[in-house]
Amino acid sequence: MPDIDVPDEYRRIGDFYEDLAGVLAWPDEALFGVAADVSAWSPAHHVFHIAVSHGMMFKGIQLISLERSPAVVGGAPTRIGAFVLAQEVMPRGKGTAPEPVRPPETFARADLDRAVARSRERYEKTAALLPSLAGLTYRLEHPYFGYLTAIEWLRVVRIHGAHHLAIIRDIAAGQVIA
């Protein structure tokens, strides 16, 4: 597994949240529009998914740092998890979001703003944990990537965000707005 520069990962996630703020400034027709040849989800659906899943990932990092259940000692990333961590990319169109992080079919911009604000708040709270993350031995299971350490979770947050931001940009490029 490659070395993970914790402060750099955290900073890059902060940059991602700035990019996400730009997406949230889009007009409704772009934010909630779909380009079916790119994704069945609108950019808003992707943002909602990102916010919920990243919030859960940051909560997982906190649980690992507290050595609280469901965090455990032992386990390892799966083959796909090791691939994602090493290559810093998620294969596109290969997975489906687990039920707890799927966005609702319909929601308002205010719901989206609240979800992103909660996610960003958990990101900001994680800053206090950064100095201790490298020394933690507990792991938490990801549904596809296996058992990850806190710093591996931090990397997954960044990779996951970049993955969905690329899809969001492709949707925007493919939209035909009347």
Q: Is 42 contained in some domain?
A: yes
Burial category of 13 from C-beta neighbours within 10 Å (exposed 0-12, middle 13-18, buried 19 and up): buried
Which residues does the chain have with pLDDT short of 50? 178
Look at residue 46 and tell me if it is in a domain. Answer: yes
Whether 103 is covered by a domain: the verdict is yes
Q: What is the pLDDT of residue 178?
A: 43
Structural domain tally of the chain?
Answer: 1
Among residues 18, 25, 34, which one has the least CA distance to residue 167? 34
The domain in which residue 159 lies consists of: 6-174
pLDDT score for 17: 97
Query: Residue 153 domain-assigned?
Result: yes
pLDDT for 97 = 85
* Each residue's pLDDT tens digit, 111-161: 999 999 999 999 999 999 999 999 999 999 999 999 999 999 999 999 999
Instruction: Establish if 38 belongs to a structural domain.
Output: yes
And the tokens for 136? 């933690």
Nearest 5°: phi and psi at 115?
-65, -45
Q: Report the residue count for the chain.
A: 178
Of 108, 9, 2, 110, the closest CA to residue 54 belongs to 9
Q: Would residue 36 count as lying in a domain? A: yes
Residues 6+ apart with CB under 8 A from 114: none
DSSP state of 102: P
Residue 128 located in a structural domain: yes
Question: What CATH number corresponds to the domain at position 23?
Answer: 1.20.120.450
Domain assignment present for 1: no
